[in-house]
């Protein structure tokens, strides 16, 4: 995989570098600082910076599901006016993620064209993969965080004192259930499609595909009896699952050979995806053209680089999710209360309802 070695860019194929014994293993992210109201440490004691309007920048690709998580939370939490956005080309070439028109990364770094410039500006001797999303500090000229799971939780809480947006996708009362489903979804589905697509041996591929579809079967059954993954409330577990499902028939079914069944063959999953896609603001974060171009531009799995015309997908079609009881999104009582794990549950109030 293209990446940095001691601060020097090394070209390579996107499918190389994270293969161990014929199986795909994702390299962990390395920048894990936090943002909080006054710069107090993060939920696990991480160093943090103050959450301020106009200081931070989110860099993404519409192609990447991990980046899509952050993009959706920026929209759901009303952060468009506080955190600027830059979008890379929808494919990873020999030079990694690129910005053909350039990106203004702030006064210290100036204008860049290559995503890896953000990494070497942060650590001149950085070694590892260069991924999106990146939460960038324009003022200090360095990466705050490049882990999407962290970024969505930063967005979920850290700017509420500026926006007044009290929607909470990770409420304390549901955290155990959310974390349990997150672990299952990440391992079996989010990362499961990549294990199938980048497998280098038949055995690794077979194992990955069987595990993936067993998980989809279980999730389809779950959503036949529950409006959302963690119950009656729409939480981060749903959005973490959505980013893979919305790409499934357009990319993973064909490009990654995840072809035992299509998403449309699962009645509950397909209706669920349509409901989430139609949630206000979400359709604007999904770019199917970029998704298809990105996955079918990976030479290791598609040497001719031909992008298929189909399938024709209609996420605007009606869904049947209203037949199940749902209470929308949990709303915090106070948008300025610090909400890290271990806080007094009384500070968060009780679970209340908020419709669409």
Quickly state the pLDDT bin for 185 (edges 50, 70, 90): very high
CATH 1.20.1050.10 residue spans of the chain: 172-330
Which among 56, 62, 64, 99 is annotated as catalytic?
64
pLDDT of residue 356: 29
Instruction: Note if 126 is an active site residue.
Output: no
Q: Quick one: fold of 172-330?
A: Glutathione S-transferase Yfyf (Class Pi); Chain A, domain 2 (1.20.1050)
Please, what CATH class does the domain formed by 3-165 belong to?
alpha beta
User: 128-131 long-range contacts, Cβ below 8 Å, gap at least 24?
Assistant: 128/3, 128/4, 128/27, 128/30, 129/1, 129/3, 129/17, 129/18, 129/27, 130/2, 130/3, 130/4, 130/96, 130/97, 131/29, 131/64, 131/66
Q: Which of 99, 119, 194, 295 is catalytic?
A: 194
| Angstrom distances, CA of residue 142 to CA of 3, 33, 87, 95, 120 | 18, 11, 18, 20, 9
Q: Is 64 a catalytic residue?
A: yes
Domain with CATH 3.40.30.10 in the chain: 3-165
Q: What's the whole-model pTM score?
A: 0.91
Output the pLDDT for position 130. 96
pLDDT per position as a tens digit, 293-310: 999 999 999 999 999 999
What's residue 354's pLDDT? 31
pLDDT at 353: 32
């Amino acid at each position: 995989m293209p990446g940095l070695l001691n601060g020097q860019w090394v070209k390579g194929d996107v499918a190389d570098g994270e293969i161990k014994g014929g199986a795909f293993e994702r390299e962990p992210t390395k920048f894990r600082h936090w943002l909080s109201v006054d710069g107090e440490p993060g939920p696990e004691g991480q160093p943090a910076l103050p959450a301020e309007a106009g200081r931070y920048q989110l860099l993404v690709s519409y192609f990447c599901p991990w980046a899509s998580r952050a993009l959706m939370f920026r929209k759901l939490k009303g952060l468009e006016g506080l955190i600027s956005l830059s979008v890379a080309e929808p494919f990873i070439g020999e030079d990694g993620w690129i910005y053909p028109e350039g990106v203004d990364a702030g006064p210290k770094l100036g204008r860049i064209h290559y995503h890896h410039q953000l990494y070497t500006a942060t650590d001149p001797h950085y070694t590892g993969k260069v991924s999106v999303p990146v939460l960038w500090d324009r003022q200090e000229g360095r990466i705050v965080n490049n882990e999407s799971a962290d970024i969505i939780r930063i967005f979920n809480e850290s700017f509420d004192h500026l926006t007044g947006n009290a929607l909470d996708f990770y409420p304390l009362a549901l955290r155990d259930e959310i974390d349990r489903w997150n672990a299952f979804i990440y391992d079996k589905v989010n990362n499961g499609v990549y294990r199938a697509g980048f497998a280098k041996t038949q055995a690794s591929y077979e194992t990955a595909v069987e595990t993936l579809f067993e998980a989809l079967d279980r999730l389809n059954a779950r959503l036949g009896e529950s409006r959302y993954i963690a119950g009656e409330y729409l939480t981060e577990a749903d959005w973490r699952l959505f980013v893979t499902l919305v790409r499934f028939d357009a990319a993973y079914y064909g490009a990654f050979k995840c072809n035992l069944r299509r998403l449309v063959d699962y009645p509950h999953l397909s209706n669920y995806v349509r409901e989430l896609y139609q949630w206000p603001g979400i359709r604007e974060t999904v770019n199917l053209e970029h998704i298809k171009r990105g996955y079918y531009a990976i030479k290791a799995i598609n040497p001719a680089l031909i992008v298929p015309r189909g399938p024709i997908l209609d996420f605007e079609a009606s869904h049947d999710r209203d037949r199940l009881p749902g209470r929308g999104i949990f709303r915090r009582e106070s948008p300025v209360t610090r909400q890290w794990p271990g806080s007094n549950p009384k500070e968060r109030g009780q679970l209340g309802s908020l419709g669409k």
